[in-house]
Amino acid sequence: MTEPPLGNTESPLYLAERILSLTKEVTSHLDELSCPTPNFSTRSSSPPLTSTYESLRISLNTVAADLLRLINGPQNHFRTLFCTHYDLAAYQVALEFNFFELVPLEGGIAVADLAKKAQIQEDRVEMVMRFLATQKVFKESTIGFFEHTNASAVIAKEPLLKDAFSMQMDEMFRAASETSRSIQEQPYKFDSANSPFATRHMLSAYEYYEANREKGARFARAMAGVTQLDRQVSELRDEFPWETLGDGTLVDIGGGSGHIAVYLAKNFPRLKCVVQDISPLMLAEGETQLETSLKGRVSFQTHDFFQPQPLVANAYLIRQIAHNWNNDDAIRLFSAFIPALECSPPGTPLLINDTILPELGEKTAYEEHQLRQLDIAMWVVLGAKQRSEQQFAALLKEADPRLRIMKVHSKGSMGLMEVHLVKE
Ligand SMILES: C[S@@+](CC[C@H](N)C(=O)[O-])C[C@H]1O[C@@H](n2cnc3c(N)ncnc32)[C@H](O)[C@@H]1O
């Protein structure tokens, strides 16, 4: 049998060698940072959020996934994939019935005691725990006795992460299962009223959260939790020269409970921030949680971003907003900035911090999968979509031909585009 040439990216041996060399790079990077090598115990620390680690992690995921696909073959691969919803079912139960908190962080618990605390029949608790243990989420240390692993402990210790996970396993998981039915019902309507979410829950996501206040508050917390999962917020901090705004005002439009404004205000002690949102619930959540030291610099205002922007400021930020809307609504959103930008000094930035979908071959398969996963998520939840730089430029031009993307500060896990109203 002829060996494939060295460097053939579809050869299992080549991929395995890449995995080895990337893993060596990961461990020496951890050594340089004096970070311990990860393990599955509750004492293992989370990976560092350095750009080197992130880029090695992305490369490793890309090659490791390809190796497994080649070795498993499509039949085995799909057998695992098309049963994933049963995995999610087990997580749904564990989250809803608080298994993560009920298992003590030190020691462990017998399944019978866990079942009593969760108030569910023992059999089903055992089924779920044994299933999760196959993924190193909990460990059955002796028969019928479970302890935490690093993965299960993270959920017990990070309530915002748990909120994000629970929200996905609850309303979003249910919504995603109705995706094709939503198209059958409305093949040519692509908007929030005809999203899979609305098909499943009989209300658009925004109406649903207004009607289900507790879930609305969980959604706001989940948004904050998700940002802790990656480097997006530190990228936002580092990729725009915020110091140039001095003691000027940044308006964070659709800022929810204000976690981004708070983060920026903490990092740039002269900056003032106004958080605008349509949801009084989210604004109230932000106001309640606001640290006393920030009270003079971070404020909250109810505002519908489809109405003309009422504040003349030094910079405007829309983060994870455009991707929530279909094209017509995105054009209305951008148009609403025109009156304020007309009154602002030339060069006042409108910052769009949103995913920028890659052109063909621009990103690794792992990164592109994550970005396109979010593209499908926007469709499922809101009947909306993510966009490439060119697609953004076209929508901005439709809103006003003077709106131009002057700089793309980042095309990382989330992009950052700086738009100006070019007054000629
Ligand atoms: C996906 S969240 C983004 C929150 C925040 N910008 C972030 O990056 O975490 C979308 C936000 O837009 C707000 N929103 C939705 N419709 C709005 C409208 N018409 N006017 C103002 N805010 C709105 C929602 O309440 C929510 O807080």
Residue 87 has pLDDT above 80, yes or no: yes
Alpha-carbon torsion angle 364, 152, 226, 39, nearest 10: -40
| Rounded average pLDDT over 44-66 | 95
pLDDT value at residue 230: 59
Confidence of residue 22 (pLDDT cuts 50, 70, 90): very high
What percent of the chain clears pLDDT 70, i.e. is strictly above it? 97
How confident is the model over 150-166, as pLDDT tens digits? 999 999 999 999 999 99
pLDDT value at residue 220: 82
Using the atom order of ligand 1, give the atom closest to the CA of residue 304. Answer: 20
Confidence of residue 111 (pLDDT cuts 50, 70, 90): very high
Q: Name the closest-CA residue to atom 11, ligand 1.
A: 254
Q: How far is CA 314 from CA 8, 246, 248, 350, in A?
A: 52, 9, 6, 9
Q: Which amino acid is at 416?
A: L
Residue 198 in contact with residue 192, Cβ under 8 Å? yes
Q: Say how many Å lie between the CA of residue 263 and the centre of ligand 1.
A: 17
Higher-pLDDT residue of 119, 51:
119
Q: Name the closest-CA residue to atom 14, ligand 1.
A: 254
Q: Given ligand 1 and candidates 235, 260, 262, 279, which is best to mutate, with the most ligand atoms within 8 Å of its CB?
A: 279
Phi, psi of 388 (to 5 degrees): -85, 170
pLDDT value at residue 6: 53
Q: Given ligand 1 and candidates 278, 332, 352, which is best to mutate, with the most ligand atoms within 8 Å of its CB?
A: 278
pLDDT value at residue 227: 67
How confident is the model over 271-295, as pLDDT tens digits? 999 999 998 988 999 999 999 999 9
Residue 321 has pLDDT above 90, yes or no: yes
Using the atom order of ligand 1, give the atom closest to the CA of residue 220. Answer: 27
> Among residues 148, 201, 303, 323, which one is catalytic?
323
Q: 323 catalytic, yes or no?
A: yes
Residue 4 has pLDDT above 70, yes or no: no
The H or E element that residue 63 is part of is helix 51-81
pLDDT value at residue 1: 46
Can you name the CATH fold of 84-156?
Arc Repressor Mutant, subunit A (1.10.10)
How confident is the model over 212-255, as pLDDT tens digits? 999 998 998 887 777 666 557 888 999 999 999 999 999 999 99
Which residues lie with the beta carbon below 6 Å from any ligand 1 atom?
223, 254-256, 260, 277-279, 282, 303-306, 319-321, 324
pLDDT value at residue 53: 96
Q: Say how many Å lie between the CA of residue 407 and the centre of ligand 1.
A: 24
Using the atom order of ligand 1, give the atom closest to the CA of residue 257. Answer: 27
- CATH class of the 230-421 domain in this structure: alpha beta
Q: Say how many Å lie between the CA of residue 246 and the centre of ligand 1.
A: 26
CB-CB neighbours of 214 under 10 Å = 8
Mean pLDDT of the chain: 94
Confidence of residue 206 (pLDDT cuts 50, 70, 90): confident
- Listed by start position, the domains of the chain span 12-81, 84-156, 168-222, 230-421
| Rounded average pLDDT over 165-174 | 98
